[in-house]
Amino acid sequence: MGLVASEREIFSLSGPSHLTAVDWNSAHHQRSVAATLVQGVYILERDRQENRHGPEALAPPWWEFFHFQLIRQLVDDADSSIFGAIYEFKPPFSCYIQNAPRYVIAFRGTITKPDSFSRDLNLDLHFIRNGLHQTSRVEIAIQAVRNMVATVGSLNIWLAGHSLGSAVAMLAGKTMAKMGNFLETFLFNPPFLSAPIEKIKDKKLKNGIRIASSLITAGLTVAVKAHRQRSPSEDAFVALSAWVPCLFVNPSDHICSEYVGYFEHRKNMEKIGAGGIEKLAMQNSIGSLFMAAMGKQAEPLHLLPSANLTINLSPSPDFKRAHGIHQWWRPDLHLKSEVHLYQ
């Protein structure tokens, strides 16, 4: 098998093998299966990098255990790496199973190995610069999702992604939602572009910073709008409000933890009668407003009007585990979930 495989790549050692019978009505089971299929994409790419084929390949158990078949690999045109996969659910008995997807389209995040790291890092930088939607990887992903929706309908498809892959899945989901197709979506450790305000321990200071930030952002939004007609990003944000993706975040992961404060702050602003200000603020970032002021289209990629937010409150010993995909299929998680709807 060439180099010795990591234990975390082997399903029998690290996967949710305890889930021998999936209850598709269970949020825990749905989350576990979606995360496992994302891990399948990571291992597909690792198999490619390590030249593991046939019986040596480690990826297949990650989807076959749950009766999925791999029907297509999504390949990046820049470095030929596998960044996504389309799976079809093929249960042993051929019948309709309520709440089970017919297809799952999953996207991996960054792999810190030489064969793909350069391209993945480049895409991470595109995300930071609010330009991920202009990359060929995202174009390939969105076209694949669009084709599947056109072929089988939006009710039959799940989207799933982790880290950078969450950003790709979010862009695909947003694109479909603007066309009236609301896909069931599972976003694990989705990146949020912001200063790590959530790390501040002093609650009063943290809330003060968030309120000040909202006031500044809302003020800039009004100023920019005064020079333009109703902005396309505003219409797009409202159009997205009926789409409620599932977000899975860990407070110890600075890459995604700001989603906790983003939605919590909106609730707090509504409580003090400042919901209107926050509605303006939450659909824009200061960076996107400056770009809009210069006449550039700049819809913030990470901002969402609605979400089903699940927070992993179980202790994480280090950042690697707080950001990792493996945490999401553990049976002993301490989770807090809340649906946030934009109204």
Digit-coded pLDDT (tens) for 124-135 = 888 877 778 888
Which H or E run contains 234? helix 232-239
For the ranges 56-65, 78-87, 230-239, 283-292, the lowest mean pLDDT is seen at 283-292
- What is the C-alpha separation between 23 and 14, in angstroms, rounded? 21
Place of tokens 């330009």: 131
Decide if pLDDT at 108 tops 80: yes
* CATH 3.40.50 describes domain 7-194+234-268+301-340: yes
pTM: 0.83
Joined together, the tokens standing for residue 7 give 């234990």
- What is the C-alpha separation between 304 and 340, in angstroms, rounded? 10
Domain ranges of the chain: 7-194+234-268+301-340
- What is the C-alpha separation between 98 and 22, in angstroms, rounded? 12
Decide if pLDDT at 293 tops 90: no
Joined together, the tokens standing for residue 189 give 């450790």
Contact 41, 82 (CB under 8 A): yes
Q: Among 159, 212, 152, 202, which Cα is nearest to 184's? A: 159
Digit-coded pLDDT (tens) for 263-284 = 886 765 555 555 455 555 556 5
Mean pLDDT of 298-310: 83
Residues 6+ apart with CB under 8 A from 153: none
Joined together, the tokens standing for residue 297 give 């289209």
Digit-coded pLDDT (tens) for 121-166 = 888 888 877 778 888 999 999 999 999 999 999 999 999 999 999 9
Contact 43, 36 (CB under 8 A): no
Give the range with max mean pLDDT: 43-47, 211-215, 221-225. Answer: 43-47
Beta bridge partners of 87: 70, 104
